[in-house]
Amino acid sequence: MTAGSSVVWGRWHIRSLSQWLASPPPVVVTLTGAGVIVLGLQIVVRPLTSLLLLGIYVGISAIVSGVANVIPDGGPSRWWRWLLAAFWVFGGAVVLVWLGRSLELLPQALAVLLILGGLATLVDVVSRGRFAQRLLAACWGSAQIVFGILSLTWPDATLLAVAIAFGIRTIAFGVALFARGAREWTGPNHSLIYQKSDAESRRRRSLLADSARCAFALVLVVTASAGWWVNDWLEDGAIVVDAFYYPPADTPAGHGQLIRWDDYRGEIPEGGTVQRILYTTRDAIGGDAVASGLVIRPIDPPPGPRPVVIWNHGTTGVAQGCAPSLRNKAATEWDIPAVEEALERGWVVVASDYSGQGAPGDFPYLIGKGEARSSLDGVLAAGELDDDLVLSPDTLVWGHSQGGHAALWTTQIAEDYTPGLNILGTAALAPVTDPYALGAEFTRGDSSPELTLLIAWVLVPYADTYWDVDLRDHVARGGRVMVREMAQRCPTEPGSIVSVLTALGVGMDRPLFVGDLTAGALGNRLQENAVTGPFGTPLFVAWGADDEILPPSLQQDFVDQQCQNGEQVRMEEYPGYGHLRILQPKSQFLPALIDWSEALLGRDSGALLERDSDALLNNCPR
């Protein structure tokens, strides 16, 4: 073949390709539409089963959408369609090339594609089509933009929301292509039925199509409006941390120093008054920190120094806004068991939020020394409130769940950290005694939204506290933003719905978490925070037999070990009780808690002989 004939042959091929793109065969348009529909369905049905697979789907879908965007639909070709097609193809290629390096940018990339796709759709509103077609284009373009913006507003849900929205867009685009190809395939040149149709039937079909477009447009308007309203509702319900919790630039030296106090604005228990306090403490690794909490005292206490009950709260989330003192009922019997009974007896209750909740800082979730230092320093700070409140060194320590872990650690370190306090005993309700064993249970357990959130709540504080714990070792690439954002919401705020939905979206095959939670540095740190003792003072460990959060076997193992160590342990298991029931009003445990506490205070004062209280304080097998 000569050079001249090669040029002619090449020009013929280019011209043929141009003609093919300008008027592709109906079968090609139909099959392309079917392929785009399949890709969209894969994204919508299982959006986060595999983050890597989602990236591949999205990359291919973007490229196919870009190519399909320039397939003509009977109107003149427009330059912006080619520009948008080039952008889609380029974006899809970038997603595919960069999958191995950064899935973290995938949510933002998808949101941008949605917004740009919506803008391109809006261009069609002013360019062509009947009223119904323009109305649908306007609603569809606006909805894409709204969904893109909302997705960027909620970073952890962005991947889930944008994936689904992007999948729906892909399905809609594929349906349009498929319908166009089917019409051409079975159109006037291919079907005797259509050849025999008259103007009236065509008018009816056109009216039916317009009605469908208007109905779909209405659905889009309602959906986008509802999404925007939900966004406003979620943001309005977010917990606000007020200025009280932010310490001044210069804080008092040392730990347990009162920075400020004011009256608590929530519900007040009967017979008591409540102040919230901000004070200095030490964090889990010994650095300076600030903590907040509540001091609940009797209105008319008996004369003399008042015994103290340290209350350690259970899991309320791990974000700054999850502090109990920010909630309205934090000082009531629904949050602190038997608080009114304690006030009747003249006891003062000090309830720390722990550092990092309320006050800024790293929250020591299931990190023993960080929890315990906050609790002990709360008592020291409460002693500085005013001259009318005189605290006795005699102190009882109570706690539930995470707070049970904190309570047991409080007793372990009190002698060295706050030698002026006299810890008489520790009541731990459904306590986490071994974070390592609990992590092993999490790893073996079936995937669920609750489990996803709990793992996130453990991973983020441990990674923030310990230099050798890295989220990248335990969270799939592309999932770290989601995990951190889930850890920034509290169960009591409306925004937690987003975290739950995200957890549902990733819960099927647990794609967020990789590896063993008990392996490597994380496993070592979890072991460091197990409760081992010694205690030297009585323990009261109680739990529900039907605890749905913590396996009762872990509680029993802890009790058995402490009995073997020679500790005084009273153990009670309550049939039919779940994780929370044990501390709520009318629980059978509450009278036992008060009797046990009174026995300790009576024995310490000499009012009760040790032989009289032994059966009440110790039921270890002999």
pLDDT of residue 598: 93
Closest CA to 234 of 545, 488, 613: 488
Spatial contact of 597 and 590, defined as CB atoms under 8 Å apart:
no
Which residue, 456, 466, 353, 459, is CA-closest to 406? 353
Q: CB within 8 A of 314, min separation 6: which ones?
A: 399, 400, 401, 402, 403, 404
- SS3 label, residue 126: coil
Of 64, 162, 73, whose CA–CA distance to 111 is shortest?
Answer: 162
For residue 15, what pLDDT is reported? 41
In the predicted model, residues of the chain with pLDDT beneath 50 are 1-22, 75-76, 100, 189-197, 509, 608-609, 611
Q: Cα separations (Å) of 28 from 173, 191, 383, 524?
A: 15, 18, 81, 59
Most distant CA pair in the chain, distance: 117
pLDDT for 486 equals 77
Q: How many angstroms separate the CA atoms of 525 and 522, rounded?
A: 5
Which sign, positive or negative, has the C-alpha torsion 430, 433, 437, 439?
positive
Angle at 223 between CA 115 and CA 240, to 5 degrees: 80
Residue 97 has a pLDDT of 72
- Chain-centroid distance of CA 594 in Å reads 36
Cα–Cα distance measured from residue 571 to residue 596, given in angstroms and rounded to the nearest whole number: 12
State the Cα angle at 76 between 73 and 82, rounded to 5°. 85
For residues 65 and 121, the answer to whether their CB atoms sit within 8 Å is no
Model confidence over 421-450: pLDDT tens digits? 999 999 999 999 999 998 887 777 666 667
pLDDT confidence of residue 339: 96
pLDDT at 352: 98
* The predicted structure's pLDDT at residue 232: 62
On the CB side of 201, CA atoms within 13 Å amount to 6
